[in-house]
Structure 1
């Protein structure tokens, strides 16, 4: 038996599109998720770890959309699916829908839906989640006490800080902290793997 957790029409303002005005002016994008999981597991344990922390997940999705400056919703959708698969290990299958309500001047709403099943790949500390023509998205494990130096055009989100994550990049350097953490890096243009330094 599969249960479905839905979050519908979360609005994110971001740069998305191919036309000149779309490259400079943020516009509304609506994000919906349908996540297939075993709801009974969380119901029995009463623990958030056994379900999806959708506030934290949407914080990550918002960060990727706002920093990615994608040209096509197809590219954005594939990048977001990769983030969901990493951030929500209890999800067996996901359907992500992106709607671009302003694209046709109120005369219809273009939408794209993608469905993806969980890949049978384990999670590692440093992981390339997505690389496309517009941006790259990486998950990077940073040990306690280490600093992370980022190239220009790269931003970092501490996915474990706060309900929706905290943007921690400052002048290209993420300062050392007293705990190990995972950072979500979004770079425009896309970075080569390992273009950042941890030390």
Structure 2
């Protein structure tokens, strides 16, 4: 087995997309069920992650699990595991922690389900950068938003990233919060961060709003 577990967080409330669709008069739908090139956002993210060659891929569900589960049934891969938050109304850090607690390896590749445009190549680069670092047990390899290389700030950072599970077990239980403030605490407490460059602008887009989705479609059409 590859010594890394992938954790995909897919437990959010979908509030911004739901409001955008309502304002536009578009029938309600979950952002992870929108289609890109005929494939659902969720399954596209899962496929990109599985193609890295991870030992297992845990998708953590919460809100709207009844809508998302049937889509995951279409993924025919024994490495795919479904984890459900015991309490749906939790912050992202707790969803990620639930994935870490169920992972079987020491290293984790953490990806948000609404990041279908992060390529398998970039995800592999995150993993390789971590394992090739001088201190993989105290390093987070993360998709850079500004600077690349050794980072001194977590400003603007989030998923995807790869790291040792002990880092996550050290920090995630402390705070029920979004990830960015927790990443900032990691840097301040001497966890090393290495920013990996994106291959294309579209990799930096999370699909939170309907305009994000339209922008993704526009950028992919230009490729």
TM-score calculated relative to the size of structure 2: 0.35
Bigger helix share: 2
Bigger strand share: 1
Q: Which has the higher contact order (CA 8 A, sep 6+)?
A: 2
